[in-house]
Chain A
Amino acid sequence: MQTEQLTTLITSWVPDQKPGISKQYTEFILPTDKVHFVAKSLKENPETKMDYLFCLTAVDRKDGFHVVYHLTSSEFHHSLVLRVILTDKINPAIPTVSDIWRAAEYYEREVFDLFGIRFENHPDLRRLFLDEDWVGYPLRKDYKDSFTLER
């Protein structure tokens, strides 16, 4: 599917989407409450069939946490990026997509572990790499601990 068709499709679902930052892939910035609906529709729509979530990550920027979803279709090989900007940096929260793609379950645990973003309705949200009693979220820009070397 081409960019224009995708844009029309997404706009029909979410009228207030904004065009994205990435120049490489077609990108849409969505509000927090719409992302689950759009993701599910993208997977189930027979023309897009975005059944392969190949990257789910978070980026700590000045305007908030960006949660970035990279999707592609195993059949049509077209790709798409969805982005959600969470402005609340103290208690960021976003609905989970792990019921749509099973791979997301573990990506989201990693994001929770390293950024502290809570995923609502996640089946098993706990730390993945670090110990259960670790304090702090290392990949945040304001993370301070005695071991980090500042250059």
Chain B
Amino acid sequence: MEETIMDIDLREKEEYIINMGPQHPSTHGVLRFETCLQGERVKYLIPHCGYIHRGIEKMCEHLTYPQLVHLTDRMDYLSAHINNEAVALCVEKAMDVEVSDRVKYIRTIFAELTRIASHQLWWSAFGMDLGALTTFFYGLRDREKILDIFEETTGSRLTQSYITPGGLMADVHPNFQKRIKEFIKDFRKKLPEYDQLLTGNIIFRERTKGIGIMSKADAIDYGVTGPSGRGSGFHCDIRKIAPYSAYPFVKFNEITLVDGDTYARYLVRMKEMWESLNILEQLVDNIPQGKIMLELKAIKAPKGEYYQRVETARGELGVYIVSDGAPSPARIKFRSPNFSNLFIINKLAAGHKIADLVAISGSLDLVIPDIDR
């Protein structure tokens, strides 16, 4: 093949372009990073998304509100309940109805369980990316208990579509509270093991401290929310800013650190798991009695525009519904957290080495179907 001017130019500068992905063990999904490397250092990085674009927003324009809840599961599949909750809350806000306290409590319990399960999977994959392969098994072993709780009540482990506009699909299983209490007790003993294995390890700290520093101004400018943003000092927890469901009834801390490096983002998620356990403990014994599903003649949002913000495990999810009074929305937009979290990676990774790129993208905790919808 003829050498073009661009090849000669690249060769003289000793730069070469490498594609990480779309199939790659550590990008956790179909995402392509076009990386320009100079030796070991990353000069710039262009993420290419769209490999799993399914047109969810367009599809939802032909579906009724209870139907489109099933599609939201498949966006950020690790926070499936919270996605469902976002749509349910938006539609209920539009129709100006309020669900019973029982529904609110159960929704929040499911949301917090989902958050813990998501962070467990993130921890497993993060350790595995950095080379500590045992973390994969520890994290998933504990996540199985949460998935068993989900399966008992909703019938499915990953994509449940349980929370729906108007309430819940069905009442919880009789074993629900017992299982959750067992899980809380068990996980409180297991979580220090995670710290022993990874957090305190000197090799791990050397790999993550000072890597990928995101300033608070950058986080706000790019719209990076969730634990990634909170690791840089950006107070963006929607559960505190605009509480919904049962969050007004519980006391918990918003974990924010100021360092902004990979280690800070890691610590934020680890501490969030402890906070979620506290929230679960406050809620699980006090679930009030009440109706599971509101009796609504038809689920139709009145004419107008409505926006709901919730806090998924990865950041702020926004559901924006534009309705003409029909059973289907005229336009529904999902402001997905991973979409905003992704594009800061060029700024974070430039100047670091390839191995650091893996650590940075692991710490941003991206779920690709959420980016592409």
Contact = CB atoms under 8 A, between A and B. Distances in A.
A17 interface: no
Contacts of A60: 331
B305 interface: yes
Nearest to B53: A129
In this complex, the member of A25, A57, A130 whose beta carbon has the largest number of chain B beta carbons within 10 angstroms is: A57
B137 interface: no
Interface string A90-120: 0000000000011101100010001000000
Interface in A41-100: 51-55, 57, 59-61, 68, 70, 74, 77
Contacts of A22: 304-307
A52 B309 CA distance: 14
Given A57-B333, A129-B49, A138-B58, A74 B320 contact: no
B58 A57 contact: no
B61 to A, nearest CB: 8
A41 B343 CA distance: 25
A52 B331 contact: no
B222 A24 contact: no
Interface string B217-245: 01011110000000000111000010000
B221 A51 contact: yes
B62 A52 contact: no
A10 B93 CA distance: 28
In this complex, the interface size class of chain B, counting residues with CB under 8 Å from chain A, is 20 to 34
A104 B363 CA distance: 23
A65 B167 CA distance: 34
Contacts of A54: 223, 309, 316, 318, 335
A52 B236 CA distance: 10
B188 to A, nearest CB: 33
B50 interface: yes
Contact of B221 (A24, A55, A102): A102
Nearest to A52: B220
A74 B221 CA distance: 10
Interface in A125-144: 128-130, 138-139
B180 interface: no
Contacts of B236: 74
Interface in B22-80: 49-50, 53, 55, 57-58, 62
B343 A106 contact: yes
B339 A106 contact: yes
A53 B50 contact: no
Given A51-B221, A52-B220, A57-B320, A25 B307 contact: yes
B340 interface: yes
B221 A101 contact: yes
B49 A128 contact: yes
A129 B372 contact: yes
B331 A59 contact: yes
A110 B329 CA distance: 20
A149 B55 CA distance: 13
B265 to A, nearest CB: 18
Nearest to A23: B304
In this complex, the member of A74, A114, A151 whose beta carbon has the largest number of chain B beta carbons within 10 angstroms is: A74
Nearest to A103: B223
Contacts of B49: 128-129
B330 interface: yes
Contacts of A61: 322, 330
Interface string B84-100: 00000000010000000
Contacts of B55: 138
A21 B305 contact: yes
A138 B140 CA distance: 39
Interface of B: 49-50, 53, 55, 57-58, 62, 93, 218, 220-223, 234-236, 241, 304-307, 309, 316, 318, 320, 322, 330-331, 333, 335, 339-340, 343, 372
23 contacts: A21-B304, A22-B304, A24-B93, A24-B305, A25-B307, A52-B223, A55-B307, A55-B333, A57-B335, A59-B330, A68-B305, A70-B320, A70-B335, A74-B234, A77-B241, A101-B223, A102-B221, A106-B343, A110-B339, A128-B49, A128-B50, A138-B58, A151-B62
Given A105-B343, A128-B50, 7 more contacts: A55-B307, A55-B335, A70-B320, A102-B218, A106-B339, A138-B58, A139-B58
